[in-house]
Amino acid sequence: MTHSVASGKSIRFLYIASIVLLCAWVLGPLYLLAVNALSSPDTINQFPMNLIPEFDLESLIFFANFYGMLDALINSITVALFTMCFSICLGAPAGYALARFDFVGKELFRVIILMTRAFPLPLLALPLAVFFIETGLDDTAFGLSLVHTTLALPFAILITFSLFSGVPRELEEAAWTLGCNRFAAFRFVILPLILPGITASAIFAFVISWNEVFASAVLTIQNRTLTAFLLQNLDTAPLHLKFAGGFILVVPAIVFIFAVRKYLFAMWGISNR
Amino acid sequence: MAIIEIKNIAKTFGTYEALKDINLTVEDQEFMVLLGASGCGKTTLLRIIAGLESPTQGEVWIGDRRIDHLPARERGISMVFQNYAIFPHMTVAENIGFGLKMSKIPADELKRRVEKNAELMHIEHLLKRYSGELSGGQRQRVAVARALAMEPDVILMDEPLSNLDALLRLEMRAELKGVLQQSNTTAIYVTHDQVEAMSLADRVSVMNAGEIVQADKPMELYRNPATQFVASFIGSPPMNFLIASNTSNGFWVIENETLSGPSIAEQSILLAIRPEDVRLSDSGLPAVVRLVEPLGPHLLVTTDVGSNQFRAILDSDSQIQEGQKIFLKPNVERIRWFHPETYRAVF
């Protein structure tokens, strides 16, 4: 009896310790990044390190005025918006089909969706770059967003699939008997119900594109996205610029992912909390 | 006029025959109940009429229109679903008016019909609520009001009361019958609950394994079941079945009791007796009492007649103990006879 109580306690201790460790693993670097981004260049370079943010915006302002940064930011947003549109326009119909129709090879199709993520991008980068140069898609926001769409599409399909599965078929059938064709039933009944989830799926696609660095670095030269731009410039840049750049990249991604977290859980079939 | 004619409808899912050559006519303004155990094809048949499922073969006619090739929205039907299917992002008023809005009914007419049907179903005080704020019974009322607001020729209902608790089901059953009688629509109602079927229906179609076994008025089904299946399905407690052997033309013997019945050239015959159609007597079928259940107005007595279980409903004053030997005298006019191989009624 005492033994089991003791082992229960130690399991609980292990459990809490793991959680603390995992949180520290993720939050520690983020905290240091924030502290340094919000400190003046002088503070960053001094030793020992400062652990309390000064809320000095000098580094960030310097970064904002850095030559080419603004263009890169606009490129990043443009590519991410394209990716978002393509992922939803292609992913949502596929998700609907998976949720509502039985067809031959449905299970295989679902596996293949995930398999697309198994190809390492560097393997595809060279042939892609050659192909893009041949077709004139290289160095364009549109071309890059196509690559990003292939990365985001599996998630868009799986998220929308779970959304459509969550809407009872009877609601749609009721709409049909009440004078709707398939499109009107979708427009007036299904869409309003899944719109929050679609938004989340779109934001997730946006973040995937926003964070992607490899394809961006290979496929753009003049019109770099922010990630590619920072990769190119930061290894030679002073420390405070690195921190500011990293901060600017991380913050939108974290905010967005935090906002849509419950739909990402839904994608893997875990109930919404 | 909304006579529904179902002609030679069959439906197969892969190799599974869900419906086999169904023929059924539902008269104008008739209340038809499709009754059967789950998996007998009754819901599939309803969905084929609704246009939510397409038949493998056969035709569906409403009046002089053939509708089986039309999409659901053009069939002039309304449907009430088992899980209500209330749109959760719309208020009750918007739900009831949804179909009217889709049909481009003018706003003032729409408002009038929403209010009229809400009043009819006693939900006029809930018009601004969302389905999440309603109880199961209230949702059911919204679903019926929404179907009626379309003023359809035909209203289809798929086990609409099965998700309600027992007391509410009784209340809604009576109300539904009244409302549908006033509305002058033809109704097809699917249920597995024989009490519901008997109390609501003008006619009941008993279905089994993808076929309509018998379509008749409730009391006809009860008194004159066409097959042994119907006899065993309708009535609670169910009919008692015994096998009797042929003695001479038209006389059948069972446990030394001779009964006069139909004359057929078979060695044996299956006979069915309702539990309430026997009385205690000094002679008759010898029975050993196994269980006595007092039900208030009468006793439900479970006995063994020979090696067969036999249930009898007896007067509550009867002094009967478990283990006692009694004699049960059947009311010969009420006995139904079934062919021992085809299980069809013989007279």
- How far is CA A245 from each of CA A198, A209, A230, B287, rounded to the nearest angstrom? 30, 17, 7, 94
Contact: B99, A179; criterion CB under 8 Å: yes
Q: Verify that A33 and A147 share a domain, yes or no.
A: no
Mean pLDDT of B165-187: 88
Q: B62-89: per-residue pLDDT in tens? A: 989 999 999 999 998 999 999 889 999 9
Half-sphere exposure of B90 (CA within 13 A, CB side): 23
One domain, residues A2 and A84: no
Contact B51 A177 (CB under 8 A): yes
Q: Which two tokens stand for residue B295?
A: 């039900």
Verify that A211 and A139 share a domain, yes or no: yes
End-to-end CA distance of chain A: 35
What is d(CA A117, CA B13) in angstroms, rounded to the nearest whole number?
36
* Residue at which a domain ends, from A63, A86, A113: A63
Q: For residue range B113-164, what is the model confidence (pLDDT) as tens digits? A: 999 999 989 999 999 999 888 988 899 999 999 999 999 989 999 999 888 8
Tokens at A112, concatenated? 């293949």
Contact B85 A173 (CB under 8 A): yes
Do A104 and A182 fall within a single domain? yes
Count the Cβ atoms, other than its own, within 10 Å of residue B57. Answer: 13
Write down the domain spans for chain B: 4-233, 240-338
* Tally of structural domains, chain A: 2
pLDDT of residue A158: 86
Nearest CA in chain B to A178: B99
- Beta-sheet pairing, B31-35 with B203-208: parallel
Instruction: Using a cut of 0.90, tell me whether the model's pTM lies above it.
Output: no
pLDDT of residue B144: 92
Token pair 């069809």 in the structure block, residue: B344
A153 and A266, same domain (yes or no): yes
Which residues on chain A are in Cβ contact (under 8 Å) with B72?
A: 173, 176-177
Please check the confidence at residue B327 and state whether its pLDDT lies above 50.
yes
Residues of B in contact with A179 (CB under 8 A): 73, 99, 102-103, 150
Answer yes or no: CATH 3.40.50.300 is held by domain B4-233. yes
CATH of B240-338 given 2.40.50.140, 3.40.50.300, 3.40.50.2300, 3.10.20.30: 2.40.50.140
Reference B59, options B110, B128, B4; nearest CA is B4
Nearest alpha carbon to residue B279 among B324, B329, B320: B329
C-alpha closest to that of A111 among A154, A151, A152, A164: A154
Distance from CA of A195 to the nearest CA of B (A): 11
**Which residue, A63, A92, A115, sits at the end of a domain?**
A63
Domain residues for the domain of A21 are: 1-63
Torsion of CA B120, B122, B128, B131, to 10 degrees: -100
Give A-chain residues touching B98 at CB under 8 angstroms. 175, 178, 188
Say if residue A138 is in the same domain as residue A193. yes
- B29 conformational bin, left if phi > 0, alpha if psi -120 to 50, beta if neither: left
- Residues B62 and B76: beta-carbon distance below 8 Å: yes
pLDDT digits (tens, 9 = 90+) for B30-56: 999 999 998 899 999 999 999 999 999
Q: Which residues of A touch B102 (CB under 8 A)?
A: 178-180, 184, 188
Residue B317 CB neighbour total at 10 angstroms: 7
Report CB contact under 8 Å: A184, B83: no
Closest C-alpha to B141, from B160, B158, B154? B160
Indicate whether A129 and A48 sit together in one domain: no
- Cα dihedral value A143, A85, A164, A177, nearest 10: -120
Same domain assignment for residues A46 and A87: no
A91 and A155 in a common domain: yes
Order of all β-strands in the sheet with B325-330: B278-281, B325-330, B285-294, B298-305, B308-315
> What order do you get walking across the sheet with B57-62 strand by strand?
B16-26, B4-13, B57-62, B65-66
The pLDDT score that the predictor gives to residue A5 is: 67
Indicate yes or no: CB of A176 within 8 angstroms of CB of B83. no
CB distance A248 to A41 below 8 Å = no
- Position A86 pLDDT exceeds 60: yes
Phi, then psi, of B196 in degrees rounded to 5: -60, -45
Question: Do A259 and A200 have their domain in common?
Answer: yes
Tokens encoding A238: 């002073």
